[in-house]
Each structure stands twice: as C-alpha cells, then as structure tokens.
Structure 1
C-alpha cells in the first residue's frame, strides 16, 4: 500500500466515526460499509459501561467524535508529509496499550499502520472491545491491511520493535523484557494547570473539562494546579459547579467518598464542594475526585519547578503564550503531532 492509500483508508474510518457524537448518533447511509458496521459499533458503545464502568456513553462518544474529526485527508497528509514513509520495509511492531480511557492506544495503532509497518497489539482488558472492530473496518475498507493487524493476549513474541505504555511499575517490566528491541516505553505522567488568579469565568469552566473529562483518568487530565500565594479558590469552585453531574456515576461517587474519608481520618486539610476535593500536595498524580494544588511565589520559581519535574508532566494548561502551553479545555483534543511524552512516534517508526 502507498501512503496515500493508507491515508484514504483512515480518512474513511474518520467519516465512519464521525457518526457517533455526544449530542447524538446519526446513521449516514453515505458512509462506506455502514450496513455492515454501524450497528455492531452502536451496540458496543451501548454496552461499553458493562465491561468498564468508567466508559460511560458520553465519554466513549467523546473519544469517537474526536477521532472522527481529526481523521481526514488534510490532517493525515499534513501530519505524514514531514516523514519518508513511501519505502518503509515493513516490520512487526509490538504495541502494549493502556486502558484508562476509551481508545487510549489508538494513536499508536494509527502511527504503526500509517507508517507502513505491521502491528501486534496487546490490549488492556479494560479497553479491548473497540479496536478489533476498528481493525475489521479498516480491513474491509482497504483489504491490503489484512494480515498486517494482529491481536494477542499472550506475551509479545516475534516482533522487531515495541511501543509500550503503562505505569512506572510496569515500565520496569517492559525495560526487562523489551530492552533488547528498539522501543518507546512510556511511564506515569500527569497534567497540570497554571493559574494566576486573572482567569475569566469561561477559562475556569473550560478547565473543568480538563479535570473531569474521562473522570480525570487520562494522562492529559489535569490532576494538579499551580496557584499564586493568596489565591482565591471561590471563583474556581463556582465555575466547576457546572460539572456536578459526575455525582450521577456510582464509581465516581464511591471514590469521592472513600478518598474523602481517608483524608479526614488522616487530618488532611481539604477544600471541597461536594464532588471535588482540592488538597495541597507537591505530587502530580492525584486520586479520583481529587486535584492537588501547590502555591508558587513568583514565575521564575515556578519555571524552575516545572523544569525539574518535566519528566512527570504530560502537558501544561494555562493562558500563557509560552511555547507548549495548552489552552484551557483543550487537553483531551490533541493533534496528530502531539506525541505522548514528547517522543515522536512516527520518527521512531520511520527509522527502524
């Protein structure tokens, strides 16, 4: 397959996924292979929460909608044009995926196949329903993908390179087993927001999307706030009240109640509004229903802190014009070139 043919296949997948939107699912009969695949996808979306209670219909549709929007010929062509992918010698790339949010491993899946390699996927049991359906759709839309996409529940073997995502603990396991292969091994990272106290109400409302989308389970979810000394949290809590519907989800409420009880028994000082707790803590990885915060005295002190902790941070949110900052409300809307951990996946695959 040529790069153009691979782009065409994923653009058709984008058209298909675009039918599934948070504000409604519409069966567009003009979309390729709808008669075969629309209902199986629709059924799996309805049943997603049965397999993983965090995969609510809204969160799953948000993930589908985002990929549906970004997978088009223009985006895919612009993304791949910086690489030489026309004459790749296909290798088998093992990909170990996380399962914290819906389709969290799709970017690696896309990168491997768009580059011309073959893929052997080891999925997380928490998110193993959608990608096989997507793979089957691609094989129907572009039969040349047949034989290039493999799924396994066993140890990854007969591979030439590895992309693996997991916790700090599993990363040590990955280092041990996959260290002999060319690899990208990802560890725990979290995202943080820098507040100045001058944010508008709309910006703080948008920050709520960065905090609550996917219940805060993504590495791009904001789990830490940096605030100036003397910061007034009242406007923030007022803006975040719009997200009180998280109380409709038992798994979230159970985590909120449990973590609150642990904090109170430990005599930790908390700020809370009935569905979100703010705790002063220098760590980045906060429990569900909790966001850590840390005070800063001046910009230079904060910049040094962020520089020292850069290996722990996935993305930084704020209204600063500094390079690399993500606008409020945009953390879960990465572009194709926004690589996890800042490691260029396509460049890695191109160089194999």
Structure 2
C-alpha cells in the first residue's frame, strides 16, 4: 500500500466515527461498510461500561468524536507531510497499550500502520474491545491491512521494535526486557495548569473539562494547579460547579468519599465543594476526585521549575508559553502531532 492508500483508509474510519455522539447518533450517506458495523458499534458502546466501569457511554462517545475530528485528510496531510517514508522497510512493532481511558492507545496503533509497519498489539485488560473493533473496520475498508494488525493476549514475540506504556514500575520491567530492541517506553505522567487569577469564567469552565473528563484518569487530565499567593478559589469553584453531576456516578462517588476521608483522618487541610477536593501538595499525581495545588511567586522561577520537572508532566494548561502548553479545555483533544511525552513516534518509526 502507498501512504495515500493508508491515509484514505483512516479517513474513512474518521467518517465512520463521526456518526456517533451522545446526543445525535445517526447514519450518514456514503460511509463505507455501515451495513456491517454501524449497529454493532452502537451495541459495543452500550456494553463498554460492563467491561470497564469507567467507560461510560458519554466517555466512549467523546473518544469516538475526538478521533473523528482528528482523522481528516487535512489533519493527516499536515501531520505527515514533514516526514520521509521513502526508505521505510516494513517491520513488526509490538504495542503494549494502556487502558485508563477509551482508545488511549489508538495514536500508537495509527502511527505504526500509517508508517507502513505491522502492529502486533497487546491491549490492556481494561480496554480489550474498542480497538479490535476499529481494526476490523479498517480491514473491511482496506483488506490489505489484514496481515498488518495481529492482536495477541500472551507474550510478545517476533517483533522488531516496541512501544510500551505503563506505570513507573512496569516501565523498569519494559526497559530491561526490551533493552535489545528499538523502543519507546512511557511512564507515569500528569498534567498541570498555571493560573494567574485573571482567567475568565469561560476559561475556568474549560479547565473543569481538563480536570474531570474521563473522571481524571488520563495523563492529559489536569491533576495539579500552580496558583499565585493569595489566589481566590471562589471563581474556580463557581466555574467547575457546572460538572457537579459527576458525583452521581457511583465509582467516582466512592473514590471521592474514600479519598476525602483519608485526607480528613490525616488532618490535611482541604477545600471541598461536594464532588472535588483540593489539597496543597508538591506532587503532580492526585487521587481520583482530588486536585493538588502549589503556590508560586515568580513566573520565571515557575517556568524553571516546570522545565526541571518536565519528565513528570504531560502538558501544561494556561496562558504560559512552552512546548507542552495547551489552551484551556483542549487537553483531551490532542492533535495528531501532539506526541505523548514529547517523543516523536513517527520519527522513531521512520528510522527503525
């Protein structure tokens, strides 16, 4: 297959996914293979929560729409035009995927296939259904992909390179096990927001999306605030109150109750609005339903701190410059060229 043929297949996938949203799911004219896949995908979305309690219909629909928005001809061309695939020799790339949010491993899957390689995929036990379904759709649209997308439940074998995502503990295992292969190994990361106190209500509402989308389970979810001395939390609380219904979801509510109790029994000083707790803490990784904050006095000093600790940070929200900076409300809508951990996956795949 040529690069254009591979891109065409993923554009068709984008068109297929564009039909599914929480408030308006309907078939569109001209979408390939709808007769085979449309109803089955609706049923899969309905069943997702029974396989992973965090994968509510709302969250899966959001993930599907995000990828529908990304998989356009214009986006694929903008993403790939700067790379040279002329000398790429097809290799087998093992993918060990995370499962914290729906389709979190799709970018790696897309990157391997669009580069002309074969993807040997090991899904997370928390997300075993969505990606294999989309792989079947890709094969239906472009049958030549059939031998390029094997899935495995066991040990990875017969691969030339690997992209693996896991915790800091599993990353040490990955680094040892894959030490003789070209690899990208991803560890724990969290995202932060830098506030000045001059944010508009709209920006703070959008920050609530960055914090609470996917229940805060993603590495791109904001889990830490940097705020100036004397910061008034009142506008923040008023803005995020828009997301109060999240406490109606049992798994989230259980985490809220548990983590709040732990904080209180430990005599930690916290702020609380009934569905989100805020605690002063130097760590980036806050528990589900909680948010950490830290004061800063000087923007230049803060920038230096963020640079020193960049290996812990996925992205930074706010009106602050830098390669990881993201606009309010956009953390869970990354562009195709927004690489996890700032490691250029396509450049890696172009050279193996």
TM-score after normalising by structure 2: 0.98
Q: Who is 1:314 aligned against?
A: 314
How far apart are residue 294 of structure 1 and its match? 0.3
Contact conserved, 2:314 with 2:324, CA < 8 A, in 1? no
Q: Who is 2:219 aligned against?
A: 219
Q: Who is 2:50 aligned against?
A: 50
Q: Name the CA distance, whole Å, in 2 between partners of 1:22 and 1:114.
A: 29
Q: Who is 2:242 aligned against?
A: 242
Q: Who is 2:64 aligned against?
A: 64
Q: Who is 1:154 aligned against?
A: 154
How far apart are residue 214 of structure 1 and its match? 0.2
How far apart are residue 321 of structure 1 and its match? 4.6
How far apart are residue 77 of structure 1 and its match? 1.6
Q: Name the CA distance, whole Å, in 2 between partners of 1:324 and 1:121.
A: 28
> Which shifted more, 113-122 or 74-83?
74-83
Residues 161 and 322 (structure 1 numbering): CA distance in 2 closer, same or farther, change over 3 Å?
Answer: closer
Q: Name the CA distance, whole Å, in 1 between partners of 2:196 and 2:315.
A: 17
Q: Who is 1:102 aligned against?
A: 102
Q: Name the CA distance, whole Å, in 2 between partners of 1:223 and 1:105.
A: 21
Q: Name the CA distance, whole Å, in 2 between partners of 1:203 and 1:323.
A: 20
Matched position secondary structure for 1:232: coil
Alignment of 1:80-99 (within 5 A): 80-99=80-99
After superposition, give the CA deviation of every residue in 1:92-134 in whole Å (9 maximum; x if it has no partner).
Answer: 0000000000000000000000000001001001011011111
Alignment of 1:330-341 (within 5 A): 330-341=330-341
Q: Name the CA distance, whole Å, in 2 between partners of 1:38 and 1:185.
A: 35
After superposition, give the CA deviation of every residue in 1:320-346 in whole Å (9 maximum; x if it has no partner).
Answer: 355542110000011000000000000
Matched position secondary structure for 1:25: coil
Residues 233 and 218 (structure 1 numbering): CA distance in 2 closer, same or farther, change over 3 Å?
Answer: same
Contact conserved, 1:22 with 1:65, CA < 8 A, in 2? no
Q: Name the CA distance, whole Å, in 2 between partners of 1:85 and 1:78.
A: 15
After superposition, give the CA deviation of every residue in 1:194-226 in whole Å (9 maximum; x if it has no partner).
Answer: 000000111000000000000000000000000
Q: Name the CA distance, whole Å, in 2 between partners of 1:66 and 1:262.
A: 35
Quick check: 1:174 aligned with 2:182? no
Aligned-residue CA RMSD (Å): 0.9
Q: Who is 1:347 aligned against?
A: 347
Q: Name the CA distance, whole Å, in 1 between partners of 2:157 and 2:214.
A: 32
Matched position secondary structure for 2:119: strand
Contact conserved, 1:318 with 1:326, CA < 8 A, in 2? yes
Q: Name the CA distance, whole Å, in 1 between partners of 2:234 and 2:77.
A: 45
Matched position secondary structure for 1:246: helix
Q: Who is 2:76 aligned against?
A: 76
Matched position secondary structure for 1:24: coil
How far apart are residue 22 of structure 1 and its match? 2.8
Count of residue pairs brought into register by the alignment? 352
Q: Name the CA distance, whole Å, in 2 between partners of 1:321 and 1:161.
A: 34
Alignment of 1:119-268 (within 5 A): 119-268=119-268
Q: Name the CA distance, whole Å, in 2 between partners of 1:80 and 1:199.
A: 35
Contact conserved, 1:103 with 1:130, CA < 8 A, in 2? yes
Structure 1 gaps, min length 5:
none
Structure 2 gaps, min length 5:
none
Q: Who is 1:12 aligned against?
A: 12
After superposition, give the CA deviation of every residue in 1:52-109 in whole Å (9 maximum; x if it has no partner).
Answer: 1110111100000010111011111221111112442110000000000000000000
